[in-house]
Amino acid sequence: MDYKTQVINGTTYAFIDKSHWNSEKKRGEHKRKYIGKVIEGKLVFNKKYLLEKQLETQKTSKPGPVPVTSCKRSFYGAVYLLSCIAEKIGLRDDLKACFGDIYKELMSLAFYLVLEEGQAMYRFKKWGHTHVHPFGADIPSQRISRLFGMITGDAKMAYFKRQAKRRCETEYLAFDTTSISSFSELLKQVKYGKNKEGDDLPQINLALLFGEVSMLPVYYRKLPGNIADVKTIDNLIKNVDFLDLVKLQLCMDRGFFSQKNINELMKHHHKFLIGARTGLKLVKTHLDDIRDSFVTRSNYNPALQLYVCTFTEQWDYEEEKPRLGTIKTGKRRVYLHIYYNDQHCTDDRNRFNHMLDRYEEELQTGKRKREHEGAYAKYFIVHETPARGIAIAYNDKAIREAEKDFGYFALLTNSIKDLVEAIRIYRMRDLIEKSFGNLKERLDMRRMSVSSEENLEGKLFVQFLALELMSYIKRQMEIHDLYRNYTMQEFLDELDTIEYYQQPGRAHHLSEITEKQRKLYEMMGVDVPT
């Protein structure tokens, strides 16, 4: 063995001189590693060096026959994928920074929700026993409840802020809401409202921001169940200021359209793209002018397969000055994009006729519904006499008025001049609707049965983490056309079969990874596990 010596206070020390490159100082350097003493001409190794050599031998040498008393097999492949995704999108690091010691438990719960479709939290024990996961131990139901209570508003907001900084500086954020029914009567924000699924239960509303470039959720907010969509914008603006984005860019459907909301967005210098009803004065004026000559080849866009046109307009801007008791007015430039779709026109007409058929039957049978009274009065002329009974005629003028806008839709924006780009971004709103479906169907969110505000907030946050992971997988599956052969559950199950073996006295190892599984990892943008 080659070594050098150095005499210090009469004792001869042996060392190995190792050279290495210092990248910061951009020069070669030497480092001494002392391995023992030279006593009477013989090298006597120190304990540290002997221990290091022993560990190296254990790693490189084949283990001898050791009595195997137990062998633990755990599912690993799908959890490994989620761990890599959590690392890639910054979920793991941001959770650790914001929640400290409990971040591994939160990750394990989120992984469980992703992999066990529609399962309740209390079933975590069985799953945790059979899977390798970040926390590595059982999380009993009582502990889960305590964890939910430990998810503070400040920590949650800090997490949203860190995630937004990673990817949201330049992308439009699709904004939408959904209703979530609840059996609990103890939650403050559970109210009766317009339930989007027709449930006769009190509800809470959930608002979600979703990036149109990253295709990942960014932020959510819980709302009282009786708050209409059109009333949420003001509070949304106030609540997302903490994200510290240079400019907020929002994409919304027409349910959020109001003069007040547009003015509020302009007041804060935010960019917006919003659906506009064809009955809106600004839209109706242009449609009345162009309707007869709009559906022509010159207005046809082959890329969109739509008839299109754009108008540059001046928005009548108003801003209240409460301290002065005045209203600031002015003109702001906006772009109005109008589109016409033949197929949508046919679909709209079919739906309208089916609706009229149903209303007419209700009138004929006397089974009138209170919520349809307005439609009865608008589209039908009903005469009732003792002798002849009920005579029903159509209000053709009202029906023609309703039909004339079938197939048309409009977008209003203060930033996107290109009508092709505008509709591309607007169509990304479908991501939010599908994400809500994922929340409710896959993430045990169809009915909320928690009994406290703390548990509700905590569960929603863990479900949001799961949604982030699922959204990444969904995007990669769409890019690589994996939905032709797999549902998301089938895809995850394919990887979940990879096992992790733990045997006393033997190195831990994985079960065989097939070529198909290797390709799936590559499509997800992560390294194959080793």
CB neighbours of 314 closer than 8 A, spacing ≥ 6?
331, 332, 333, 334
Strand partners, 21: 28
Confidence of residue 1 (pLDDT cuts 50, 70, 90): low
Closest CA to 472 of 89, 87, 83, 80: 89
The number of C-alpha atoms within 13 Å of 65 and in the hemisphere containing its C-beta is 0
Output 183-188 pairs: Cβ under 8 A, ≥24 positions apart: 183/447, 183/448, 183/449, 184/448, 184/449, 184/450, 184/451, 186/451, 186/452, 187/450, 187/452, 187/453, 187/456, 188/224, 188/453
Q: What is the pLDDT of residues 276-297, one digit of tens each?
A: 999 999 999 999 999 999 999 9
More confident residue, 118 or 209: 209
Angle subtended at Cα 219 by Cα 121 and Cα 268, rounded to the nearest 5 degrees: 160
Model pLDDT, residue 6: 83
Model pLDDT, residue 96: 97
**Mean of pLDDT over the chain:** 84
In the chain, the N- to C-terminal Cα span, in Å, equals: 34
Closest CA to 113 of 102, 104, 124, 103: 124
- DSSP label at residue 191: B
Q: Where are the domains of the chain?
A: 4-60, 344-403
CA distances from 424 to 340, 396, 406 (A): 15, 37, 21
Q: Which two tokens stand for residue 203?
A: 């509800």
Confidence of residue 61 (pLDDT cuts 50, 70, 90): very low
Yes or no: say if 505 and 68 are a contact pair by the CB < 8 Å rule. Answer: yes
Q: What is the pLDDT of residues 112-162, one digit of tens each?
A: 999 998 788 888 999 999 999 999 999 999 999 999 999 998 999 999 999
Q: How far apart are CA 485 and CA 491, in angstroms?
A: 9
Q: How far apart are CA 79 and CA 130, in angstroms?
A: 11
Model pLDDT, residue 249: 87
Model pLDDT, residue 269: 87
**Phi and psi torsions of 272, nearest 5°:** -145, 155
Q: How far apart are CA 285 and CA 262, in angstroms?
A: 19
CA 501 to chain CA centroid, Å, is 34
**pTM for this entry:** 0.73
Q: What is the pLDDT of residues 150-206, one digit of tens each?
A: 999 899 999 999 998 887 767 888 888 777 754 444 344 444 444 444 444 456 778
Yes or no: say if 194 and 179 are a contact pair by the CB < 8 Å rule. Answer: yes
Q: Within a 10 A sphere around the Cβ of 109, how many other Cβ atoms?
A: 27
SS (H, E, C) 314-375: EEEEEEEECCCCEEEEEEEEEEEEEEECHHHHHHHHHHHHHHHHHHHHHHHHCCCCHHHHHH
Yes or no: say if 244 and 165 are a contact pair by the CB < 8 Å rule. Answer: yes
Q: How far apart are CA 423 and CA 273, in angstroms?
A: 9
Yes or no: say if 71 and 42 are a contact pair by the CB < 8 Å rule. Answer: no
Q: What is the pLDDT of residues 449-498, one digit of tens each?
A: 545 667 888 989 999 999 999 999 999 999 999 999 999 999 999 999 99
